[in-house]
Amino acid sequence: MSDNATPRSTRGELVLSLRGVSKHFGAVSALTDIELDVHAGEVVALVGDNGAGKSTLVKVLAGVHQPSSGTITFGGKEVTLSNPAAALDLGIATVFQDLALCENLDVVANIYLGREKNPLRLDEVSMEVKAWTLLNELSARIPSVRDVVASLSGGQRQTVAIARSLLLDPKLIMLDEPTAALGVAQTAEVLNLIERVRDRGHAVIMISHNMEDVRAVADRIVVLRLGRNNGVFYPDSSNQELVAAITGATENAVSRRAGRRQAEQGA
Ligand SMILES: Nc1ncnc2c1ncn2[C@@H]1O[C@H](COP(=O)(O)OP(=O)(O)O)[C@@H](O)[C@H]1O
Ligand SMILES: [Mg+2]
Supply the pTM of this predicted model. Answer: 0.87
Please identify, by atom number, the ligand 1 atom nearest to the C-alpha of residue 28: 5
Closest ligand to Cα 59 = 1
Residue 18 CA: distances (Å) to CA of 58, 74, 101, 155, 201: 12, 9, 30, 31, 20
- Give the β-pairing of 28-39 and 77-78: unpaired
What pLDDT band is residue 266 in, cutting at 50, 70 and 90?
low
DSSP state of 139: T
Q: Is the CB of 55 under 6 A from ligand 1?
A: yes
Torsion angles phi and psi, residue 113, rounded to 5: -45, 120
Q: Is the CB of 104 under 6 A from ligand 1?
A: no
How is the chain split among helix, strand and coil, in percent rounded to 5?
35, 25, 40
Q: Is the CB of 207 under 6 A from ligand 1?
A: no
Q: Is the CB of 43 under 6 A from ligand 1?
A: no
Dihedral sign of CA atoms 121, 126, 132, 135 in order: negative
- In the reported structure, the alpha carbon of residue 100 is separated from the centroid of ligand 1 by a whole-number distance in angstroms of 20
Mean of all residue pLDDT scores within the chain: 88
Sequence-ordered list of residues with C-beta below 8 angstroms from that of 7, at least 6 positions apart, any chain: 42, 219, 220
Q: Is the CB of 186 under 6 A from ligand 1?
A: no
Burial environment of residue 27 by CB neighbours within 10 A (0 to 12, 13 to 18, 19 or more): exposed
- In the reported structure, the alpha carbon of residue 233 is separated from the centroid of ligand 1 by a whole-number distance in angstroms of 24
Please identify, by atom number, the ligand 1 atom nearest to the C-alpha of residue 224: 22
> Residue 2: its pLDDT value, please?
45
Q: Is the CB of 54 under 6 A from ligand 1?
A: yes
Query: Residue 3: pLDDT above 60?
Result: no
Torsion angles phi and psi, residue 75, rounded to 5: 60, 35
Residue 143 CA: distances (Å) to CA of 101, 135, 187, 239: 17, 11, 18, 37
Strands annotated E in the chain: 14-25, 28-39, 43-47, 69-74, 77-78, 92-95, 172-176, 203-207, 220-225, 228-233
d(CA 232, CA 1): 7
What stretch of H or E contains 99? Answer: none
Q: How many other C-beta atoms can be found within 10 angstroms of the C-beta atom of residue 148?
A: 15
Cβ distance 174 to 205 under 8 Å?
A: yes
What does the pLDDT look like over 32-51, one tens digit per residue? 999 999 999 999 999 999 99
Q: Is the CB of 56 under 6 A from ligand 1?
A: yes
What pLDDT band is residue 138 in, cutting at 50, 70 and 90?
confident
Comparing 116 with 167, the larger pLDDT belongs to 167
> Residue 249: its pLDDT value, please?
80
Mutation to probe ligand 1, out of 28, 46, 177 (largest number of atoms < 8 A from CB): 28
